[in-house]
Amino acid sequence: MKITRYIFLLILFLFYQASCKAQNALHNYFIEDRNESIKDFGKRMKKDIGFLKDLNPNIKDTIKKGDTIYIAPDLSKKESLPDADVQVLGKSGLFKEVNFLDKRYFVFEVDPHKYKIDLYNLIQSDGEPYSFSSIAKDKKKDLLFAMNGGMYEQDLTPVGLYIAEGKTYKSINLGKEGNGNFYRLKPNGVFMIDSNDNAKVLPSDIYVSSKLKPVLATQSGPMLLVHGVYNSNFQPNSTNFNIRNGVGINKKNNVVFVISEDPVSFYEFSQCFKEFLGCDNALYLDGVVSQIFVPELQKSPSPGTQLGVFITVSNKTGAKKTNNITPGKNGNDNKSAKPPKDQEKKPVDPTRKDPQGNN
C-alpha cells in the first residue's frame, strides 16, 4: 500500500514539473461537498492533477472540505507574440516606456542591492498621511521614484502585512472574507526584501510557511503570476480595463515596477510581466488610484495626493547609476527620449473595487 502511494506521489511530482512549463492559467477548485483522495478527485473531475506543492503547501494525498486544489492545464504551444517597442525616458536611462500589444507601460527595473527601496504609510508617522510631496521633501535629491505600494483600508492603513525598516507594523492577512480584489481574486501575495537586499514576490500562504524574515514587506493582491503561471481568475478576453500598477521579480532577481499608461485587463497586465519583462512572479499593487512620481521626468508631484502605502526607490551612498532594464526577447530598444503622459490625477475613493464580474 505504501509503495503504491509513493508511486502515485512520484507521478504527481513528475506531472507538476511538466505542468510548470505550461503557458495557460491554472484552474482552481474549491472543495465544497466531500472528503476524498486526490486520485478520486481527479477521476471525478476527469482531470490530470498537477500536485503543485508550492501552491498547495498543506495538501497531501487526501483533500477535505474547504481545500482549494490547483489543476494544471494541458500543455500547449506558446503563443507567438509580436515585438514590443521600448523608449528610454530621461537622461539617466533608468526609465522606459514600453508599448506591448498596443498598450503602453511605464517600467522601472532596479537592482535592490544598488538602490534603497523604502515603504511609507501613516502607521509609521503617528497617523499623519504621506503624499508624494511630503515623501519628496523627506528624500530630497536622493529620490528616484515613488509609487503607490499596496492595498489599504478606508483609513489609509495597510490591508495586510506591512514591515518597514525591520519593524512589523501589521501582521499578515490570511482572511477569506472581504470585498475587493485582495479577497476575491486569490491568491494575494507579498513583496518583500530581506536583510541581504534580496527581493521576492510570493503568495501570502507561501510567505507564512517559508518563515522568512524581511526588513521590508507589503501585502497586496491578487498575485498576477506564480512561478510563471497566470492567475486562474484572469480571462484573456476580459473587458475589465483599468490603469494598474504592480511589481515583479525578473530572472536577474531585479525588482521591476510597472504602471500601465493605458487601461488594461488583469490578463494583459500579467502578460506584460511574463512575456516581455521576463518575470515569473508578479504582484498587483492597485488600480484606478495608481500613480507615480519620478523627479527626473516630472517637475513636481501631485499636490496633496494622499494614498495608503507608498514604495520609493532612492540612491544609496556611492551607488552607481546604471541602465538596468534588459528588454525580453520581444523587445526592440528605441532610444528616443519621450516623457510619460501626465500621471497627475484627482484622488479616488480608496475602496477602488474593479467592476464585479469580468476579470
The pLDDT value given to residue 60: 53
Per DSSP, the three-state class of 29 is strand
The pLDDT value given to residue 41: 65
Residue in the block written with cell 524574515: 213
d(CA 263, CA 240): 9
d(CA 110, CA 103): 22
- Which residues of the chain are modeled with pLDDT < 50? 17-26, 50-59, 72-77, 318-353, 355-357
Per DSSP, the three-state class of 136 is helix
CA torsion 224→230→236→241, rounded to 10°? 0
The pLDDT value given to residue 84: 80
The torsion region of residue 54 among left (phi > 0), alpha (psi -120 to 50) and beta comes to: alpha
d(CA 79, CA 24): 10
The pLDDT value given to residue 52: 43
The pLDDT value given to residue 299: 79
d(CA 271, CA 343): 22
The pLDDT value given to residue 303: 66
Cell of 103: 498598450
The pLDDT value given to residue 180: 84
The pLDDT value given to residue 344: 39
Q: If you write DSSP's letter for every residue of 285-329 in order, what string do you get? A: EEESS--EE-TTT-SSPPTT-B-S-EEEEEEPTTPPP-------T
